[in-house]
Chain A
Amino acid sequence: MSGSLNITAATVEPGLLALPWDVPLENWPDDTITALPKGISRHIVRFAQLDGYVIAIKETTDEMAQGEYEMLRNLQKIEVPCVEPVAVVQGRTDVEGNPLPSALVTRHLKFSMPFRALYSTTLRPETAQRLVDSLALLLVRLHNVGFFWGDVSLSNTLFRRDAGSFAAYLVDAETGRLYDSLTKGQREHDLEIARVNIAGELMDIQAGGKLDSDIDPVATSDRIMASYDTLWHELNDPELLEQNELWKINKRVQRLNELGFDIEELSIKTDADGTKVKIQPKVVDSGHHARRLLRLTGLDTEENQARRLLNDLDSYSATVSLLNLDEEVVAHLWLTRVFEPVIRAVPENLDSKLEPAEVFHQVLEHRWFMSQEQARDVPLNEAVRDYIENVLQYRRDEEVVINPPTGTFTAAVDIIRDDDDFEYNDEPMPPRGADEPERDWRDLV
């Protein structure tokens, strides 16, 4: 390798230098590559192990790698849920000195999964709806900070389990742009892209025979519109109040809290004659419950997991209410006496099945089902044992699920030659496989 390799990274990762940058990503040796999900993508993306965590490496043009790296860093700064950029590697050459594409390195998000990994046989209606809802929430959060995505899809998103629903993370920021704020047209356009892409992705699963017959791809993708609209209006619409109903301000704040948002800044304006007051949230921050849980216990979880854990914490504090303790002290007691024993009960070899908070949520669910079934209050330690024995050990590991990577592939532009009577110089087609029987394509469109 020539001496011009240039690595831009926020933190020094010595392991990065040891990777075979003088070899095209496609040909990286198997001992470097964590798994081989060589998806047919416009850019080659592969995964490698680096100092105890997994990184995704994407080969792309110099400008795009640099641009996406900076975009992801900016998004991280404003706390948008997205993958973490690690480095840009430029100036790569092979052993003969021929230039190789630049590479963007991102850190794989632990316990996150591509949507195609969220079903094994068929995608169920509830799963599809939850995926779409979590994508709608992500899109609202992105739009709220002025990010226009330009390529919203389930494939460009990673999902983490979140106490019965999903938390969505942005993976591909290649087409995105950050503005001071977005216009209605930009938001509508992003939503339209989302609607078409989601429908396309569901139709693809349908074509592969893995979509529950109750799911209508178009209706399910339409759901993102309603889901998005409800959230957007709740977050952004101004509200006109009479002077004597200012208590409604609190109600608005509570409603937003329940949706998982905190109001950081609220504009309150009185009209000319002073009889009406217009309130409008100016700065909202998601993660209301997650922040409260973090403050009380130091646990960093997804929003719905936090909601679940806080509920349990609240019921616990009722049991110790006579002691008249501070909230922080109760939280500490709950953490050491309830939460941690459950997590410690999970044998080490099952650690990579699920995140601790998700395990706790599932144990609570499990206890509820057991109690229903046996018509008695099943104690937590009994529920934990039963859960580990009958549920957890049969789950797959979800700490690092990277296959299939996206499942779709995007095309660059190389369409037609200049001369009109040009014939495409197509390579011979590979023979038909079992998944491609001869049929009339008109039946398919």
Chain B
Amino acid sequence: MIVASSPSLPEPVGTRFEPSSRTQARLVQLARALHRAARNPSTLAGSLIVLALVFAAILAPLLATHDPMAQDLAARLTPPGAAHWLGTDQLGRDLYSRLLYGAQPTLMIVVLVVALSAPFGVAIGLLAGYFGGWVEAVLMRVTDIVMAFPRLILALALVAVLQPGLVNAVIAIAITAWPPYARLARAETLSLRHSEFVEAARGLGMPSGQIITGQILPLCLSSAAIRATLDMAGIILTAAGLGFLGLGAQPPMAEWGAMIAAGRDHIFDAWWVAAVPGLAIVLVSLGFNLLGDGLRDVLDPKHHD
């Protein structure tokens, strides 16, 4: 358990800092965690990949060699070479440049989905866990129903309703992504609900809202954060799947899943059109997985080897 094991964490050498408040204590904890994270090779590799993604998204206009939308029908399906480093697609667009610009929707989807689903899920879980009774029954039943859906099929159906597009893909994925957070937060809350400090706060007459946000929520955050990081890879894959089925970002936007779909028709003649964006997806989701894995090792002592 996080609460119980936190005080027993080894202090990094050279730290002589007496925590004077809970916030400070958490800062210290964070600093230690970061220190350990930096020494964990998979976290490091993961962070580097994710950083590269962020840089590619921001610096795409500078790094690109071509306009990602510019068509050149005469140069369609050119293999990788000097003129086009990663070749061109069926409309003669430069794949290297499209790959770089493709980092933008990928990053956007990941950030937005997590920003939408994690807080919502955690809130549901907190309420269910803290209040119990019929609140819990109703909320967790809804959670179960959403969880009972095959995620991709639900997202598919939702996008079909909302019309294909990047923003709608985000909404659809977010709607399917929150239940695990709710379950996680509920489990954490259950184990904290009767802990001494929560009972104490309640004894002092602290209102439920304050106990939830002030006492319980902070302790659920690290597990939610780990979950979120690990989730990001899954989000990327789901978004790519939607893009592949033609339900994600729309042309001419460079989106990796849609780029694979376009390459599918040419897979046996021009393998690079599908292979290049696919590799990018693998690399980036690997990055998030490594990072999440490492973070879990670092932040969640239960899983700490």
Question: Is B truly associated with A?
Answer: no
